[in-house]
Structure 1
Amino acid sequence: MTYGSETWSLNMGLIRRLKVAQRVTERATLGFPYVIESEMRISVGEPGCSATHSRYVGKFIRNISALQSLVPKDEHRPNCSKNIFLLTGTLSLRNVYMVIPEAVERGKTAVIKCMYDLENEELYQVKWYRGDHEFCRYAPKDVPPLKIFPLRGIEVDRDASDWEKVTIRAVSYRANGRYSCEISADAPSFITAQLQGMMYVVDLPKGYPKLRGMKIGYKPGMKLKVECISPNSMPPANITFYVNDEPAHEKHVYRKVSGGTNGSLWTSYGTIQFVVQHHHFIDGKLRIRCLAVIYSIYAKSHEKTTTLLDYRTTIPPEPVTRPRIVFSESYNQESRLSEIGSGKT
């Protein structure tokens, strides 16, 4: 379900959905002005049940019969099993979005932000969840306003958390998962919005990937086989090859990983192999580059260059070193004659 600038899941926890419905029902009972502006139909696989995207101007509720009866019935409307209503009135919670890092290195600090504009409303509270478990709450009228609830793997930095962000120190693998924030305005509206996002905790390789197996020169028709290694990461790095800055054909690339047992780190291997042709060389040079990527937090590469050898060119042998012979001054003519007389040559 999409509204504003965010996409919300319809599978949020049942308790939070019931709270939203309860607040709307209470307002309707007390006679606060609500106007049903439009009905949003969610596709459930039946013909004619399509999703309609509308601008978020209020609160969504689900299957409230008292309000459902206010909607004019349409004889031609398909019988969709899930109906969600867009309610509008004098309430407003705008520009709601979440800023969450896709990945954080293990042991580092993670900052998750929930941005919103209450306009003329006052803030009632902001709740933070990992999965369905609340671990932090900010309520400006409480003393103290920030409350932290113990949750294994989550260590909240109290001094660096407030009404729009929560800071988690020294993240571990247990901090992996889906995070949600729930913003509620104060009375009388108690308008509520919920956002969510995924965060992964990773171990990054120490340094750059390594290329090996490249020769200093190739002739057309020779087979090129180069291996790229990116060691010690969690998860394993995704390896991509480039030939002269162009992505290599996947049919020439083979990948595998090793490790990962009993909590150990992974090592990624990638091999590129193909028969070298004249068109692979640009100005007599052929460049092979290996790129290792982990989410959006790590991207490093290693590149090597080889040269074109024609059929008349051979690779010069390495120079051979020989011991140097030095004659001393005492080696004179008489000693040479004595050697000849004794039969030495």
Structure 2
Amino acid sequence: MNYWMLLVIIGLTFDGHRVCSLIVTEINVPGIVDFRDNVTLSCSYNMAGHTLNSVKWYKDENEFFRYSPMMHPYYMKFPVEGAEVQENKHNCNSSICRIELGALGKKSSGVYRCEVSGDAPHFKLTTKAANMTVAALPQNNPLISGFHPMYHFDEFVTANCSSDYSSPPAILSWYINGELALPAELQPRQENTFAAHDYLLKRQILQIHFYVNGPRFIHFRKMLELKCVADIIGFPHLRRESKSSAVLTHDQNLNNQMLLSTGERSASSATIFAVSILRLAMSIIFLQSAIFS
């Protein structure tokens, strides 16, 4: 093998390596978003010496956006239902392409794909895709109701937890002093539904009931803490929770004493009112006697 042939082989080897190195390094498409929000999609790529020809965005294999730095205009948008790029909300260059979608809805869910192509002489093509679900996510923490600020040991506790309306629906869980409630302490779940914005929105209601006794209450310094957690299955970062605390006491007559005290105060107020009325009546009688005498 002569010297020149060896140089040609080495040159082709390095050129082939350079051609194959054009890749999409990262695609950023959130797994789930709320239909009321705008969302930014981004695609990063390594040209590795190639000249960028175009970056194309597809939804379910339908092209809706293109960046072509070697053509005019640089940016082009194509009508695809559910994939609306906001006006002037795109920024692309030789290494990254970002776009912002708005006016989201149920039909915005799908597979989003970024396709990057190099220019002559190799016209290499690379692509990467990710799925995005557009949902009606909970906007508020779960609501705890029916829970009082004070209980005594061995008392029966009942409380309700209601999730915010959403689609998909939230799954509720109860915790008592940091421990997951037992299945026997839960009532069957209830569900309310109504349709809005092309979604069937659902609210979960879960009731808990238990006696205040056992080791999970002894180590909490006379405190009872309930926590209700609302999860969207498959998306732990969307967890929402609420807590509520009560004081525990061994005095089983405390509530009765409080009621008695309240009754005594009410009786005292009624007595004072009656005396005032009696004094007013006597003043009127005295005034009438003075006038007619």
Please classify the TM superposition score into its range, dividing by the shorter chain length. Answer: 0.7 to 0.9
Shift of 1:269: 1.8
Is 1:303 paired with 2:243? yes
SS at match of 1:283: coil
- The equivalent residue for 2:290 is none
1:330 and 1:238 map into 2 onto residues whose CA distance is 65
User: Given the alignment, which residue of 222, 226, 232 partners 1:288?
Assistant: 226
2:162 and 2:52 map into 1 onto residues whose CA distance is 52
- The equivalent residue for 2:157 is 224
Residues 46-96 of structure 1: CA distance to partner in whole angstroms, max 9, x if unpaired? xxxxxxxxxxxx9xxxxxxxxxxxxxxxxxxxxxxxxxxxxx623213561
1:182–1:95 distance in 2 versus 1, CA, 3 Å: closer
SS at match of 1:157: strand
User: Given the alignment, which residue of 18, 39, 44 partners 1:90?
Assistant: 18
Assess if the C-alpha contact under 8 Å between 1:234 and 1:265 holds in 2. Answer: yes
1:226–1:170 distance in 2 versus 1, CA, 3 Å: same
Shift of 1:206: 4.4
1:225–1:34 distance in 2 versus 1, CA, 3 Å: farther
1:224 and 1:131 map into 2 onto residues whose CA distance is 52
Assess if the C-alpha contact under 8 Å between 1:220 and 1:278 holds in 2. Answer: no
**Higher share in helix:** 2
1:265 and 1:121 map into 2 onto residues whose CA distance is 49
Shift of 1:228: 0.7
- The equivalent residue for 2:33 is 104
Assess if the C-alpha contact under 8 Å between 1:102 and 1:296 holds in 2. Answer: no
Q: Which has the higher contact order (CA 8 A, sep 6+)?
A: 2
1:232 and 1:198 map into 2 onto residues whose CA distance is 24
> Larger deviation: 271-280 or 119-128?
271-280
1:330 and 1:230 map into 2 onto residues whose CA distance is 58
Assess if the C-alpha contact under 8 Å between 2:24 and 2:116 holds in 1. Answer: no
Assess if the C-alpha contact under 8 Å between 2:54 and 2:117 holds in 1. Answer: yes
Q: Which letter maps to 2:221?
A: D
SS at match of 2:208: strand
Shift of 1:122: 1.5
Q: Spell out the pairing of 1:194-273 with structure 2 (5 A cutoff).
A: 194-249=127-182, 252-253=185-186, 254-261=188-195, 263-273=199-209
Assess if the C-alpha contact under 8 Å between 2:111 and 2:130 holds in 1. Answer: yes
1:241–1:147 distance in 2 versus 1, CA, 3 Å: same
Shift of 1:251: 5.5
1:276–1:140 distance in 2 versus 1, CA, 3 Å: same
% identical equivalent positions: 24
* RMSD (Å) for aligned C-alpha atoms: 3.1
1:226 and 1:256 map into 2 onto residues whose CA distance is 14
Q: Spell out the pairing of 1:138-217 with structure 2 (5 A cutoff).
A: 138-163=67-92, 164-217=97-150
Residues 208-244 of structure 1: CA distance to partner in whole angstroms, max 9, x if unpaired? 3211122344444444332210232222223232222
Residues 182-215 of structure 1: CA distance to partner in whole angstroms, max 9, x if unpaired? 1222222333222122222232444332111223
1:33 and 1:256 map into 2 onto residues whose CA distance is 69
1:183–1:260 distance in 2 versus 1, CA, 3 Å: farther
| TM-score, normalisation: structure 2 | 0.73
Q: Which letter maps to 1:113?
A: S
Q: Which letter maps to 2:279?
A: S
1:231–1:107 distance in 2 versus 1, CA, 3 Å: closer
SS at match of 1:101: coil
1:329 and 1:230 map into 2 onto residues whose CA distance is 56
- The equivalent residue for 1:314 is 254
Assess if the C-alpha contact under 8 Å between 1:255 and 1:268 holds in 2. Answer: yes
Shift of 1:97: 0.7
1:129–1:251 distance in 2 versus 1, CA, 3 Å: farther
Aligned pairs, how many? 252
1:214 and 1:285 map into 2 onto residues whose CA distance is 13
| TM-score, normalisation: structure 1 | 0.63
1:191–1:240 distance in 2 versus 1, CA, 3 Å: farther
